[in-house]
Each structure stands twice: as C-alpha cells, then as structure tokens.
Amino acid sequence: MITPVIMAGGTGSRLWPLSRALYPKQFLALTSEHSMLQETLARMAGVETNKPLIICNEEHRFIVAEQLRAMEQPASIILEPVGRNTAPAVAIAAEAVEGDDPILLVLAADHVIQDPAAFREVINNAIPLAEAGKLVTFGIVADKAHTGYGYIQRGESIADTTGYVVEHFIEKPDADTAAEYVKSGEFYWNSGMFLFKASRYLEELTAFRPDIAQACTQAMNNTVQDQDFIRLDSEAFALCPDESIDYAVMEQTKDAVVVPLDAGWNDIGSWSSLWEVNAKDENENVCSGDALLHDTSNCLVHGGDRLIATIGLNDVVVIDTKDALLVAEKSRVQEVKTIVERLKLDKRCEFENHREVYRPWGKYDSIGIGARDQVKRITVKPGGKLSIQKHYHRAEHWIVVSGTASVLRGEETQLVTENQSIYIPLGTVHALENPGKIPLEMIEVQTGSYLGEDDIVRFEDKYGRV
C-alpha cells in the first residue's frame, strides 16, 4: 500500500507579500477555500493509502497540525530542525514510515493539480513499476516552452506499463532549447514527485551518497515524540549534507523511470503562475477580495479587507495585505525574491510574519503600534491557553470583546467576561485561557519601553514552547 510523504518545507519567497517565512505558500488558500497542503492531501481520495507522513520545518509545526485537524486528517508529522533539501528528507521518511516496506508517494505540498482524477489514475498505473523496484518520477506533459523548470528526457518504453526509462535529467534550459524539447515530444517537465519502495530508495541512497544515508540514520536513532510531532536528533541532522533527491539518487540510479502526467499541474512558483491557473473574467483578469477594475486587462489583483481600484493597467500584479502592498509587471514577478532578500537583510518584520500571526492557541493581529504602546486583537480558540509567562519591559491591559477568559494574575485566577477588563502589571506572572465553547475575542493594549515578542519569559506551556 502507498504511504503519501508530503514535503511541506520551504518559504515560497516569490509569492511575497502573501507568503512569509513563518507562514509560507503551502499553508495559504491560493486556488480554493483550502490551503495547498490540504488540497495535496485531499486529492489522494480514491487511492488506497496508509496514514500520510508530513515533513515540515520546526517553526511551522502548529500550522501543519491545525490544518490537519481542520480536515480531520490523521498523519505523522516529522520536524526538520534545519532544512537539508529533499534527499535527506525522503531518507528520513523512508526510515520513519510504518508497515512492511511500503511504497512512498513523495509529493510537494505546494503543487496545483487541476484534474485530480487523472492524477490518481497515473499514480495507480505507476504502482507496478514501483513494486518491481523501479524509482518512478512523474514527468509533466509540457504545453509550452517553459524556462523555469528542469526537464526529463525519456528513453525506451517499458513493456506493459505507462513508463519510460529515464535517458537524461536536464537543468533549466534557455528559451530556444526549451522550444526544441517541447517540439520533440520526448521531454517532460521535472515535477519533483516520486514513487518507489522505501527500501529501494535507501539502497540507492546508500550506494551513491552513503554520507547522507548515515547522517539520516543517526538522526533517526534518537527521535523524540513531542505531542503530535516526531523530533529528529538535531545535532546529527545538522551534520547531514544538503542535497536534492535528483542529484543524490535519481541522476545516478539505473532504475529511474519516468511516467507522463497530464493533469493540469503547476507548482505556483510565482504570481504569474497563479494568474495562469485561476479563472479569469472577460478581460483576462484574476481577482480576489474587494476589487474595482476599470480599463484593466491581463492582471492579477489580490486583496483583503480594503477596496483595491485600478485604472488603465495591463499585465500587472497587485497584491495587497494588511501590512504590505506589491505592484509589479507580470513579466518580472520572479524578481520578488530580490525584495524578500532585502527585507531579510534589513531584518524587517515583513520578511517573517504577517500583521496577523497564528499561534497554537489562536491568533493575534497587531492593529496599531506607537513608540511605547501597541494594540492587538487576540483570538483564543476554545480550550486554547497562552503560556504562563511574564514580561520585563511591558504591562498589558486586556478587554474582553466576546467570550470568557480565565486569567491567572500572580497568585489569583479569575473569570473576565464580555465588556470587562483586567490589568497585568510589568513583571507579573500571568496566563490566559479560553474555558468556553466559543472563540475568545480580546483587545490587548501593551505599554512599556520595549514591545518585542522576545520579551516573554515562559514558565509553563501546554504546547511545549518553554
């Protein structure tokens, strides 16, 4: 039986300002009401599978857990203490997976598949190849000469299957070469999706990159179960080389097979990709949010709460969030990464977080900030509890808008209900919990000399963040 392995790392920097380092594109709802991670799991319906295995970054663990809970999807979640590319990640999955040498279906959490039925059919047809010991990769049937993807050249067909021997893996070509590839019909886009037995992958990795295989084995020898998460030995994994599965295994093995996939695939690597896959109006515009367009064509306009109005635009991308606005020529959206690099270099908060930040207990929205004050709207989900903590540099005023709060302040615990407030002096040990059945909505007013999120001393935390 197949075990889906979902690679949910990465930052999706080319989709800034919607995608941020601490809330990247795979957790966003870009093409439907569900996130890309949720869509990836949902499209497996109809394929007989074991419990999925999700591999994600440490800082994204609560986002993954919450999105799985929302779709009632049981899964194992492995946390990478540091990113080491796809070859080690798949090796960890191959060692961690349960069952008698199952077949792994390795998928990225940020791909779009517009025809899930065709996708499932191709997966089912490729299973005999994996059972025979082949390492299957899925080649996307190219509909244009794209220079942003690597290519796979097919060789001989494999009798009684839908697969071909892999002749060559090719790096991203120039436009003329890409056009020749597409015209020949012998080349596919490299999707980064794979199907093989766990044991076969480990055999080939050990043969070609024993250093990676050994480091991953050591990282798995001292795993720790932490709530819903499996934590690797961080010191051992940090010593693992950084390498892709293509370089480490697929380009080395003699058992690489490519199976064509024509199912409306897109990796949403840029804002122009999102424009391509979404439904368009009569002027070829893709709009979301509150938008009023006049004499505008071939544009992507993505908004939130406030109105966006455009006049006389063509081939332009407009992305509006609560704390950042991007306006770019659609042909130059790959350069968004340059903006992100500058934000990171300047240590600006817009690189990592949105104004609205999600936590395992709920979320907060920083709706106003001054030199010595900050106002937040806080939402605590039923049963959610903030850590027992104190601050050295700020005091806090809490006003309950709806719901009921159980507040620990010093030695006392009291209930604070709608239209009531409570004051937390600087240096006072405190905690906040929602004991009710509905979300707790609050306004928090912070005052003090320093208002950074790192001014938190945690004493106890139900989510293991101490």
What is d(CA 144, CA 124) in angstroms, rounded to the nearest whole number? 27
Please list the pLDDT of the chain residue by residue as tens digits (466 residues): 899 999 998 888 999 999 999 999 999 999 899 999 999 999 998 888 999 999 999 899 999 999 999 999 999 999 999 999 999 999 999 999 988 899 999 999 999 999 999 999 999 999 999 999 999 999 999 988 888 899 999 999 999 999 999 999 999 899 999 999 999 999 999 999 999 999 999 999 999 999 999 999 999 998 988 777 999 999 999 999 999 999 999 999 999 999 999 999 998 989 999 999 999 999 999 999 999 999 999 999 999 889 999 999 999 999 999 999 999 999 999 999 999 999 999 999 999 999 999 999 999 999 999 999 999 999 999 999 999 999 999 999 999 999 999 999 999 999 999 999 999 999 999 999 999 999 999 999 999 999 988 899 999 998 887 6
Strand pairing report for 229-231 and 76-80? parallel
pLDDT attached to residue 305: 83
Contact 196, 103 (CB under 8 A): yes
pLDDT attached to residue 466: 64
Name the packing angle between helices 198-208 and 86-96 (round to 10°).
Answer: 130
pLDDT attached to residue 328: 98
Domains, the chain, with CATH or none: 2-266 (3.90.550.10), 271-336 (no CATH), 356-460 (2.60.120.10)
Side by side, the strands of the sheet bearing 316-320 are: 286-288, 300-302, 316-320, 325-329
Beta-carbon count within 10 A of 283 CB: 12
Beta-carbon count within 10 A of 278 CB: 17
Half-sphere exposure in the Cβ direction for 449 (13 Å, CA): 4
Query: What letter represents residue 138's amino acid?
Result: F
